[in-house]
Chain A
């Protein structure tokens, strides 16, 4: 479902003496439906960079990133827009939302984008928020003022509300208590069971142990020549 071949990435900082910073070389990865692959490596090794390249907000210098039938490294914007709507979900560590929009609508939005009936989408959103133990009095409020853990749960509810065939999870269990961590791990297991291909970053070793089928150390993709 997700296949990465010979992927490289560099940053060119035009306003800092045009410094060219190679950050990745020869990255390769394959995730079959129903599998979860964990990215490991020390801080700054390129875990998030690799994940952003799959999502398409970082450009690849060379190589290919196939998600389903789309090569994200070469696809036109509208193909990536369609991929993100139908196929590829992303739970990032940050929640970027229009201020003043109620949490329940933030969560329902991916379904509305897919054309799901508004009432049905909001119902599903309520079910997700309920499952993630977000107090009902918060559902009608904007998540911008929520605590880290509450925002994270809104983010997770939004990322799991549609049965994406491919999922990117960046620290999904960070800042959650034991109960909610357990809910998230179950959501991941259910996604795998229905055939989702997942790439995740987990600092939580026990979580990694439980849901990941394989681990990939991104340090192996560090550029050799430039070091």
Chain B
């Protein structure tokens, strides 16, 4: 074996979720959700509309308040702590520095009235960057990494195509070097050819930056290519989880078997 293989595996999960529960009145949003996400892992969450996957993602990211359970995040400087008990300023700091959230609709994650460079620079300024030249050059570098031509830096995202907007949203999210990124249907609503390019981009960024990610999608082909692990949800509960190719090739639960056998072969 070579020296590279000897990197010690960290013993603390980046995110440890325990018995997470969220109700909307009498109706269950998600319940009994527990899992560990390890550094560098990409986890997919699949399920049909109404299965609770988006509710779960929102509870994890703090966009919704969970009713019960724990979400223990191993912070860079703070070590593991339950983010559900953080104060609002602490949570905002986490969202600006260590976490990122990519919305399905880029309009929800971008400021449409601000230039592309401004969208990226704004995140940097939120964590204390003040030097205009440095911010602009970092922004320009990131536009390049997500394959947006540098001469579009002063254009507003409203002048961009859907695929470019989604790439800009990713640049805006990753510029501050987060460790954990939440993605809600990141390739939804894009043409398949644009989707492929985005998938390749995401895979490269996850690998190079050592990112962990949680991706909600209904597209089994996307999770097969992007996720190491897969969680299947139905009626607010996790009914099956495991290695992505194991869950897709040898599904154990009736619903997962139905889901996998329902995919059209191209």
Which residues of A does B touch, CB under 8 Å? 11-15, 52, 56-59, 77-78, 80-82, 86-87, 96-101, 112-116, 163, 165
Contact = CB atoms under 8 A, between A and B. Distances in A.
B149 interface: no
Smallest CB-CB A-B distances: 10 pairs? A14-B254, A99-B196, A57-B245, A86-B5, A57-B249, A58-B250, A77-B243, A100-B196, A98-B200, A57-B246
Contacts of A165: 1
Interface string B1-37: 1101101010000000000000000000000000000
24 contacts: A11-B250, A13-B257, A14-B258, A15-B258, A56-B243, A56-B245, A57-B249, A57-B250, A58-B249, A77-B228, A78-B41, A78-B228, A81-B228, A86-B5, A96-B224, A98-B196, A98-B200, A98-B225, A99-B193, A100-B193, A100-B196, A114-B2, A114-B4, A115-B4
Given A12-B252, A101-B200, A78 B246 contact: no
B229 interface: yes
Contacts of A113: 207
A81 B243 contact: yes
Interface string B245-262: 110111011100110010
A15 B262 CA distance: 12
B257 A15 contact: yes
Contacts of A11: 250
A59 B250 contact: yes
A101 to B, nearest CB: 5
Nearest to B41: A78
A86 B5 CA distance: 6
Nearest to B228: A81
Dominant secondary structure of chain B at its interface with chain A: helix
Given A59-B246, A96-B224, 4 more contacts: A14-B254, A57-B246, A98-B200, A114-B4
Given A81-B228, A116-B4, A14 B257 contact: yes
A116 B246 CA distance: 27
Contacts of A99: 192-193, 196
A98 B201 CA distance: 10
Contact of B249 (A14, A52, A78): A52
A58 B9 CA distance: 25
A59 B249 CA distance: 10
Given A78-B38, A96-B225, A101-B200, A112 B246 contact: no
B107 interface: no
Interface string B167-200: 0000000000000000000000000110011011
Tell which of A59, A77, A96, A100 has the most Cβ of chain B within 10 Å. Answer: A77
A33 to B, nearest CB: 12
A15 B249 contact: no
Main secondary structure of the interface of A (DSSP, over half): loop
Contacts of B228: 77-78, 81
Nearest to A164: B1
A77 B229 CA distance: 7
A119 to B, nearest CB: 14
A97 B224 CA distance: 10
A99 B243 CA distance: 22
A59 B251 CA distance: 9
B144 interface: no
Contacts of B261: 15
B196 A59 contact: no
Contacts of A114: 2, 4-5
B242 interface: yes
A157 B242 CA distance: 28
A66 B41 CA distance: 23
Contacts of A98: 196, 199-200, 203, 225
A100 B192 CA distance: 11
Interface string B211-248: 00000000000001100110000000000001101101
B246 A58 contact: yes
A100 B197 contact: yes
Nearest to B207: A112
Nearest to B247: A57
Nearest to A12: B252
A87 B2 CA distance: 11
Nearest to A111: B4
Contacts of B248: 57
Given A13-B257, A80-B243, A101-B200, A86 B193 contact: no
Contacts of A12: 252
A78 B37 CA distance: 9
